Structure 1
Amino acid sequence: MAELGATRQAHSGRISLDPDKVESGLAQLVLTVVELLRQLMERQALHRVEDGSLDDEAIERLGLTFMRLDERMKELKEVFGLTDEDLNIDLGPLGKLL
């Protein structure tokens, strides 16, 4: 209990937020979610291609979409100074996210 009181005293002032770090942290979280969704969508698209449920035009559109998304993700990671490893969040006992 004394430890909790000491922690409260140490942190009893204002919260100091660095806007640059907040922006970077938010960008990391958002890009991680986008990357996770991209990987899931890509797997689903591959299954549909393998099943033969997509015509050539749809396959072409999917390929172009994933290429553009990959390019944009690279640009955004560069803007925020993030790497692929930065997006691979450690979930503790569950392991890495991506």
Structure 2
Amino acid sequence: MSQNNLQEQPFKSGRLNLDPDGAEQGLAQLVLTVIELLRQLVEKQAIRRVDGGTLSEEQIEQLGVALMNLEVKMDELKEIFDLNDEDLNIDLGPLGNLL
């Protein structure tokens, strides 16, 4: 893929934006992608712990509030950087999509 093709397809291709002029946007996309991946992993682990009965009712409530707050903050950041969920699902080539 040529340099021009990378500039013409900033996010919709599922790949990172490598355009030097859009470095801030590309960096935001990468950082938010990593945060979203970690958020999903934490959420799955939290569900396992809740299902396993290892948390008190208070801990379950605190965990739920924390996860909701993180989701709200992610939505705010996606809006600030004009990104959507598709933009965070980076194409890893033969490995498929990240999220």
Which of the five TM-score ranges fits, normalised by the shorter chain? 0.7 to 0.9
Q: Work out the CA distance in 2 between the residues paired with 1:60 and 1:75.
A: 23
Q: Work out the CA distance in 1 between the residues paired with 2:49 and 2:75.
A: 26
Q: C-alpha displacement at 1:79, in angstroms?
A: 0.4
Q: C-alpha displacement at 1:66, in angstroms?
A: 0.6
RMSD of equivalent CA atoms: 1.1
Aligned match of 2:78: 77
Aligned match of 1:62: 63
Aligned match of 1:26: 27
Aligned amino acid, residue 17 of structure 1? P
Q: Work out the CA distance in 2 between the residues paired with 1:17 and 1:47.
A: 42
1:2-41 aligned at under 5 Å gives the runs 17-18=20-21, 21-41=22-42
Aligned match of 1:51: 52
Aligned amino acid, residue 86 of structure 2? E
1:45-72 Cα shifts (integer Å, max 9, x gaps):
0000000000000000110001000000
1:4-37 Cα shifts (integer Å, max 9, x gaps):
xxxxxxxxxxxx932xx11110000000000000
Q: Which runs of 5+ in 2 are unaligned?
A: 1-18
Question: Percent of aligned positions with the same letter in both sequences?
Answer: 64
Structure-1-length-normalised TM-score: 0.80
Structure-2-length-normalised TM-score: 0.79
